[in-house]
Structure 1
């Protein structure tokens, strides 16, 4: 028996929708009845106990890009920060297409090396080439419940429609990271004053909203279940709101950093703020927050993208986009609470049960989830030493923030 006693901890339970302070007992990641067979006692005064989180979009960089991160390094970073279930897009190397053995191998290695439950999103087209539908039947047999073309463009809209019809017939979800490539072109930052002043190629809001509007019409025509990931614009929230009002089977998420950071950070060509979709305006940030609060946006994800230091050393437009996000995820969530956007239990719902429901895995998550002990008042400085992830690429380096997972209890 390895039972841990946590005294006077605030339990935030999104499954039962309960928020209470109590002494609890944990055995193998599950709450159990009070007992004398305790091997460790933890003072939980002022701390929160939350279920381990579900992340709808994280790139772990393995296979193929181990110079940025591995299943071991990023799995450990996720787990230590209270994230146990992760979804990853198929744009690794090699691309995850219809290779069931590769998918099974990745899932097993993620558990063995990193101690996390990895769910691979399959490729929507062969090799993400945007020309021919991937073998979705094989992907589903291999364990994929969703497909996406990630950030790769489609050759034409007919290809999109055929893949949506295919996915609908298999009852698979299609995930869109919406961007109209003919509008975005070679842009890398939000179309705004700072980008104009610095002469950086821009990605206007229309690149996202035009794509969403087009895909929504296709979703309505095909009846496919769809998820819009990584919303970055206030206008996108309005489109998703109208689609839900019409009864379309759509859900959406937003990356945590889009709820806090804006394009002001790119001033001075700060490549650590280079992310795609780009950081938008203050107004976009506020509208994304309101959309999340109103339930138009269903969940928050990390959009974790670890990168080696060399990936951010070129001129801004030539650097690789991405922000390491596991280590600051809970701190940013607590900031939303401290700024009055959510009550603690509401925030917990957005990072646990809500993304699990979006991914149609709520029952599995309830079975496999452990618990994370959070100290909401713990102040810590973001540094290359304090970041657990192999990637240290964040514009928060040097800042002191509040809130952190101090212990994770796994099943």
Structure 2
């Protein structure tokens, strides 16, 4: 077997909470004791060695939207950027995530084509129609541990309650991407000065916070385990904080870009800054960062949504929302460290151990994870040639960023 020796590397190990400079031996993605059968020696001076990451929300576009990305292309992008376990929402086109048998095939294809461990979130209602509960027992049999209605609305609150009771009885997690559709309506950007000046339809923060408040009351009544994905508002952090203080079985995550970017980027009708939930205010960004640092927000996700160039070539409100995010995940994480929000080990924990625990797969992650070598000082230009993902849709296009995975070690 091939054994790689890495000398003088800073090992960030969130499993045993250690941060130390060591000489490490890796075989088939696992650390091993010293060996005489070394095939390669690397100088790890100035670099970090950390476990492969877990992403709680990424759309890989297959099946049905291969013009934007495939399991092969996006699986490769995830792996090369240090992400080995990926959770995907149940809103492919066509929707197959309400069928346990089809989900098993997707998981196999993701490993075969893209080399990643795909975790499919099952559909909460049949075809995401918001009316009839999906066959959650069949989904669980097919390997799903969580269900969600993604961004699709529910017909009424009674449907929500019935699906929560169903999921609770099966010990499945319900994932909410909270948005009150009657308030959000046809909005596409944060309700603020920039949107008002440009005359763009807006999504007020209340669309998210009102939905979270309502769902938390339902969680309390049904006892279901709930995860709130992709928080974008500072007020949402307070709601989750209160729920956790009451002992409710609730977790949450935030997309990495919400910790860095704001609605100022939509100025000039920049469609590359069109994402849902939208980029919010500077104050929201600050409060999300504080919520993450305080432990109210459990984990950081990519919210990766690759899109073809044509998807962003229409009037702003008519373009498809989404950022390609695998390639910017580590640079943004390194930026959080350089800006003093986290020590390196604390950031690593938010993208490895924390999401694995949220997904109730910690032991499995420990068994399946590999290691990645990160150069936190490497500067590189984020352009169409350097982005591994098929999607080049990022508002950071052609900018210089710092921090990159330079080597992955997986089995």
Q: Quickly name the TM-score band, shorter chain normalised.
A: over 0.9
1:186 maps to 2:164: no
- Secondary structure of the 2:137 match is helix
- The alignment partner of 2:398 has SS state of coil
Q: In 1, Cα distance between the equivalents of 2:46 and 2:37?
A: 25
**Contact conserved, 2:97 with 2:120, CA < 8 A, in 1?**
no
Q: Measure, in 1, the Cα distance between the counterparts of 2:397 and 2:221.
A: 46
Contact 2:191-2:205 within 8 A present in 1 as well: yes
Deviations 1:99-122 (A, max 9, x none): 222111100000000000000000
Query: CA offset at residue 93 of structure 1?
Result: 1.8
How far the C-alpha of 1:127 sits from its partner, in A, is: 0.3
Partner of 1:12: 12
1:274 matched to 2:274? The reply is: yes
Matched-pair contact (CA < 8 Å) for 1:97–1:134:
no
Match of 2:239 in 1: 239
Match of 1:147 in 2: 147
Q: CA RMSD in A?
A: 0.5
Q: How does 1:248-287 map to 2 (within 5 A)?
A: 248-287=248-287
Partner of 1:355: 355
Q: Distance in 2 between matches of 1:26 and 1:62?
A: 33
How far apart in 2 are the matches of 1:206 and 1:348?
32
What is the distance in 2 between the residues matched to 1:327 and 1:358? 23
Deviations 1:194-223, CA, capped at 9 Å, x for gaps: 000000000000000000000000000000
Q: Displaced runs of 4+ in structure 1, greater than 3 A?
A: none
Once the 2 structures are TM-superposed, how far is the Cα of residue 345 of structure 1 from its aligned partner?
0.2
Residues 289-368 of structure 1 correspond to what in structure 2 (within 5 A)?
A: 289-368=289-368
Counterpart check, 1:55 vs 2:55: yes
Q: How many residues align?
A: 411
Tell me the equivalent position of 1:166. 166
The CA distance in 1 between the partners of 2:161 and 2:243, in whole Å, is 18
Give 3-state SS (helix, strand or coil) of 1:36's partner: coil
- On the 8 A contact 2:97/2:121 being kept in 1, the answer is no
Q: SS in structure 1 opposite 2:94?
A: coil
For residues 13-162 of structure 1, the aligned pairs below 5 Å read 13-162=13-162
For residues 298-329 of structure 1, what are the alpha-carbon distances to aligned partners after superposition, in whole Å with 9 as ceiling and x for unaligned?
Answer: 00000000000000000000000000000010
3-state secondary structure, aligned to 1:95: coil
Structure 1 residue aligned with 2:409: 409
| 1:381 aligns to 2:381 (yes or no) | yes
Q: Secondary structure at the match of 1:327?
A: helix
Shift of 1:96: 2.8
Deviations 1:205-254 (A, max 9, x none): 00000000000000000000000000000000000000000000000000
**TM-superposition CA deviations, 1:32-72 (whole Å, max 9, x none):** 00112100111100000000000000000000000000000
1:97–1:135: 8 Å Cα contact kept in structure 2?
Answer: no
Instruction: Give 1:164 shift.
Output: 0.3
> Residues 98 and 127 of structure 2 are in contact (CA less than 8 Å); yes or no, is this contact kept in structure 1?
no
CA distance in 2, matches of 1:94, 1:368: 30
CA distance in structure 2 between the partners assigned to 1:238 and 1:378 by the alignment = 37
Matches of 2:255 and 2:172, distance apart in 1: 23
Determine the C-alpha separation between the residues in 2 that align with 1:88 and 1:161. 23
Distance 1:176 1:87 in 2: 14
Deviations 1:82-106 (A, max 9, x none): 0000000010022134322211110
Mapped to 2, the partners of 1:265 and 1:28 lie a distance apart of 43
SS in 1 for 2:42: strand
Q: Is the 8 A contact 2:90 2:122 kept in 1?
A: yes
Question: Mind listing any 5+ residue stretches in structure 2 that lack a counterpart?
Answer: none
Whole-angstrom distance in 2 between the partners of 1:268 and 1:317: 13
- Whether the 8 Å contact between 2:382 and 2:399 is mirrored in structure 1 is yes
SS at match of 1:320: coil
Q: Which residue of 2 aligns with 1:395?
A: 395
Give distance in 1, aligned partners of 2:268 and 2:97.
40
